Amino acid sequence: MRGGGLWQLGLSITRRLAQADKKAVGRRYFASEAELKKTVLYDFHVANGGKMVPFAGWGMPIQYKDSIMESTVNCRQNGSLFDVSHMCGFSLKGKDCVPFLEKLVIADVAALAPGTGTLTVFTNEKGGAIDDSVITKVTDDHMYIVVNAGCRDKDLAHIEAHMKSFKAKGGDVSWHIHDERSLLALQGPLAAPVLQHLTKEDLSKVYFGEFRITDINGARCFITRTGYTGEDGFEISVPSENAVDLAKAILEKSEGKVRLTGLGARDSLRLEAGLCLYGNDMEQHITPVEAGLNWAIGKRRKAEGGFLGAEVILKQLAEGPKVRLVGFSSTGPPPRSHSEIQDEKGTNIGEITSGGFSPCLKKNIAMGYVKSGFHKAGTKAKILVRGKAYDGVVTKKPFVPTKYYKPS
């Protein structure tokens, strides 16, 4: 998910709305509302107190009536329902869809069993990340992929250009962009028990990373047991005409414990889980190795390459990258994106890419890139916030333990 400073933006809106000059806030954050795309749940968000902000060309809820802090904690204690319909889901089909996709991503797509998926990265010729994505093998000739809203145009253009070349050489692959569907993310410990009320599918047999096409609340849905919070949960692709009814049914079945949750809490949840945010922690000049995603590069791909930028990435795997993404805990004000990181002598060693106050841990957490050699857990550092240096220490991620539902 692309974006920056969502947590800070949400807090800023909360503070400003509490002040007298609400008209100025409206002009600043809502001026371009007429130009923004809206998900089918837009009016539902507004009716439920959603504070709508521009995000990646869409009008999206940053938060609802409760605070970002409260929403974050409730997700981990009970559950959250997010509208993530701004993200782009599409299908690749054809007998050559797997070898085609393997030219563009670092995953061992061929090794995925039907009905399973993985996080992967679309790379460029220099090994940099064009986008991170969850890909799922529905069948051997059908892949389902979700890419970030802010990367949609460049991702689709990149894929289309390579598809034309691939098909010109006789490759059998086609695609369909699922603009007729909406995407909901149900996350937290109540996700499975609540969703089970709405489907005959036995969710106890659907593990983390697995995919099903099944009826939920009477609508044919794609469900993936995954998410962006570190909690157990599901991403549910639903026909857009059924999306509002499904959202209402989920909230009703939870008896008020699962709450509508905005992008602000989504950002703090993913940071607590140590998950990258494209546009902050990953960019076109950052490789998967530098971002700590070595595990996402399939074993066969490490041996054979065959994807864009493989030469650069395989060299980094062999020799080690010059910079690495690490986690931090710190004192003082919360670090923000672009805060300078120094060693104990005051020499620049890197930069924070995401940071904030953890609602669940009640302390500052952050992620950033440092020079190799300063990346080991326990390494002390100084983090500059508004020109003043504060103590920081490299901390293992995730900051909050993940609770993915896996076979025991």
195-199: long-range pairs with CB below 8 Å, 24+: 195/223, 195/234, 195/236, 195/250, 197/253, 198/246, 198/249, 198/250, 198/253
Judged by phi (left if over 0) then psi (alpha if -120 to 50, else beta), residue 346 lies in left
- What φ, ψ does residue 290 adopt, rounded to 5°? -65, -35
C-alpha–C-alpha distance, residues 116 and 138, integer Å: 7
Q: Does 272 appear as a known binding residue?
A: no
Range 296-301 contact pairs with CB under 8 angstroms and sequence separation of 24 or more: 296/106, 296/107, 296/118, 296/119, 296/120, 296/121, 297/106, 297/107, 298/106, 298/107, 298/108, 298/109, 298/111, 299/108, 300/108, 300/110, 300/111, 301/102, 301/106, 301/107, 301/108
156: how many CB neighbours lie within 10 A of its CB? 16
In the β-sheet with 88-93, what is the strand arrangement from edge to edge? 116-123, 129-139, 142-147, 88-93, 174-177
| DSSP per residue, 239-301 | EGGGHHHHHHHHHHHTTT-EEE--HHHHHHHHHHTT---BTTTB-TT--TTTTT-GGGS-HHH
Q: What is the DSSP string of 119-152?
A: EEEEE-TTS-EEEEEEEEEEETTEEEEEE-GGGH
Q: Summarize the annotated binding site as residue ranges.
A: 235
Q: Summarize the annotated binding site for substrate as residue ranges.
A: 235
